[in-house]
């Protein structure tokens, strides 16, 4: 029996913390939790003893409450005696991937899943210009600011960190753009043309150079990073959505909490003494049921963001895994409930 991992979320303003410990096996009936100033001592079945410590934090002695056992998870609340002087900061992410489209060079776009050509004709872009995620709709609809009027021409290509925008007046629907061979969604039609996702396409140049697709989870993390950097308050309500090949919308509703005091320890060497590390962390309360979309739109200031099918699937997979790994996981039953996940820097 050993500890697989520990996660502690600190609520520094009320000097409290929530501790989640995941063991390799189910927690036995006779367990004991002992809070010392500098460590937490866990005793299982009177023989297995574990120590947890977090640098920079101290605990109130003998103050443990709300103890719950869920299979191999032991969850409880403890009081803090002191916190670090300096608050930690929020999750941040910088993608290594940037598109490198060039001017006046023949470009072919293919589906990254099956390599089928997206369009039999090649593109040649006269101007290739960077834009910020989410700004494009605003700029095209309202002409940008006084000093910066965007008047896209037919052969212009704009790109942000997760997509490219191709001006094309012949495509005017609000439908998903799907690969005609394998049906994966490659992008969406927008007012002025097409928006193709960088995690869903490969770009081939005339000289046979190929630029492979971005990683879907990196694109999702890039968008979250952008949201966190522009948040004015501590919480933001975000609806991410994608249109599948049948033009049905799928939603990921997220409350992003900008900053969390959080520490974890993984335990690959099965040690009995663990030191938890503070991480740059943000947390997300999320669910995927569409029935609350209208309520959110009415009740909150909501930012809605289009994402790709691949981003959506990788986000839900990763958020679910983090919830299962560190928190209580699948133990809630019945109607779909919100789940909590953490995004943190390694």
Site for Zn ion, rule CB under 5 A: 111, 113-114, 116, 179, 181-182
Shortest Cβ distance from residue 248 to Zn ion (Å)? 19
Residue 70 CA, distance from chain mean position: 26
User: Which residue, 89 or 181, is less far from Zn ion as judged by CB?
Assistant: 181
Q: For 57, which DSSP code?
A: -
Shortest Cβ distance from residue 233 to Zn ion (Å)? 41
Shortest Cβ distance from residue 111 to Zn ion (Å)? 3
- Cβ neighbours around 288 below 10 Å, total: 18
- Residue 336 φ then ψ, to 5°: -55, 125
User: Which residue, 109 or 179, is less far from Zn ion as judged by CB?
Assistant: 179
Shortest Cβ distance from residue 9 to Zn ion (Å)? 42
User: Which residue, 167 or 243, is less far from Zn ion as judged by CB?
Assistant: 243
Is the Cα torsion angle 246, 250, 302, 199 positive or negative in sign?
negative
User: Which residue, 113 or 303, is less far from Zn ion as judged by CB?
Assistant: 113
Q: State the DSSP string of 94-110.
A: --S------TTSEEEEE
- Residue 217 φ then ψ, to 5°: -65, -35
Shortest Cβ distance from residue 135 to Zn ion (Å)? 29
- Cβ neighbours around 334 below 10 Å, total: 5
Shortest Cβ distance from residue 178 to Zn ion (Å)? 8
Residue with tokens 């410590």: 53
Q: Measure the CA–CA gap between 335 and 148, rounded to whole angstroms.
A: 49
User: Which residue, 36 or 181, is less far from Zn ion as judged by CB?
Assistant: 181
- Burial 38-59, CB ≥16 within 10 A → b, else e: ebbebebeeebebbbbbeebeb
Q: What residues pair up with 254 in beta bridges, in sequence order?
A: 238, 286
User: Which residue, 180 or 330, is less far from Zn ion as judged by CB?
Assistant: 180
């Amino acid at each position: 029996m050993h500890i697989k991992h520990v996660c502690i979320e600190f609520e520094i303003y009320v000097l409290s913390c929530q501790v989640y410990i995941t063991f390799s096996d189910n927690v036995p009936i006779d367990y004991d939790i002992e809070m010392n100033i500098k460590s937490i001592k866990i005793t299982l079945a009177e023989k297995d003893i574990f120590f947890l410590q977090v640098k920079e934090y101290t605990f109130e002695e003998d103050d443990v409450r709300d103890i719950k056992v869920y299979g191999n998870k032991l969850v409880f609340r403890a009081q803090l005696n002191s916190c670090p002087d300096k608050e930690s900061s929020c999750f941040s992410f910088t993608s290594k991937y940037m598109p490198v489209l060039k001017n006046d060079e023949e470009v072919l776009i293919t589906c990254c899943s099956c390599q089928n050509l997206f369009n039999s004709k090649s593109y040649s872009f006269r101007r290739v210009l960077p834009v910020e995620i989410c700004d494009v709709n605003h700029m095209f609809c309202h002409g940008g600011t006084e000093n910066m009027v965007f008047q896209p021409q037919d052969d212009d290509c704009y790109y942000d960190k997760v997509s490219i925008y191709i001006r094309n007046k012949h495509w005017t629907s609000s439908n998903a753009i799907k690969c005609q061979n394998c049906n994966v969604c490659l992008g969406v039609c927008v007012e002025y043309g097409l928006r193709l996702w960088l995690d869903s396409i490969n770009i081939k140049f005339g000289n046979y150079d190929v630029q492979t697709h971005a990683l879907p989870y990196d694109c999702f993390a890039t968008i979250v990073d952008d949201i966190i950097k522009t948040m004015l308050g501590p919480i933001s309500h975000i609806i991410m959505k994608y249109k599948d090949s049948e033009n049905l919308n799928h939603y990921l509703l997220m409350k992003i909490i900008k900053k969390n005091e959080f520490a974890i320890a993984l335990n690959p060497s099965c040690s009995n003494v663990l030191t938890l590390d503070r991480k740059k962390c943000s947390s997300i309360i999320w669910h995927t049921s569409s029935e609350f979309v209208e309520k959110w739109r009415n009740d909150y200031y909501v930012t809605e963001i289009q994402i790709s099918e691949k981003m959506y699937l990788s986000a839900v997979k990763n958020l679910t895994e983090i919830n299962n790994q560190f928190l209580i996981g699948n133990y809630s039953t019945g109607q779909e409930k919100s789940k909590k996940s953490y995004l943190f820097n390694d």
